[in-house]
Amino acid sequence: MKHCTAVLGGGCFWCVEAVFSDLKGVLEVIPGYSGGHVENPTYEQVCTNETGHAEVVQITYDADQISYADLLKVFFSTHNPTTLNRQGEDVGTQYRSVIFFGSEEERQTAEEIKREMAPLWDDPIVTEIAPLEKFYPAEDYHRDYFRRNPQQAYCSMVIAPKVAKFRAEYRDRLKAH
């Protein structure tokens, strides 16, 4: 088993966590913050739009079961990478589409998959590809948020439809429950 990590931001980290948690080969998904200038930011600080951080997830995966490229294909097909600093009604730089790479090989793969996925969208992809400097885990109450709060309004109206669409499109790539 080859454990690797990827750090991705595609809007609200609750949505991104809910999607990737179901994917075969994914071992753990931790919501957090990256890409800003404040040490150990809090959710409240990130929401001010003044820390520079994006809401992201750190995905630990088994590279023998799923590749980094395949993770990125799921990433580009499960959020809108063409809207700058927003996903749906979530607006602000913390909701930007971003891939934080940990190596030159990951950067090259990210650029390649970004080009490969571009024809799926009518508008240009604006996903930022940047070096990972630091990942800060979010507060504990953000972990497994969708699973623990399925009746919460945001979860039922925004996350549930996204997860249902993902499960339908990637049915053969899901973990057995």
Residues forming the active site? 12
Contact 85, 95 (CB under 8 A): yes
Strands 90-91 and 54-62: unpaired
Helix (H, G, I), strand (E, B) or coil at 177: coil
Contact 171, 22 (CB under 8 A): no
Instruction: Go through 97-108 and write b for each residue having 16 or more CB atoms within 10 A of its CB, e for each that does not.
Output: bbbbbeeeebbe
Contact 93, 52 (CB under 8 A): yes
Look up residue 163 and give its amino acid: V
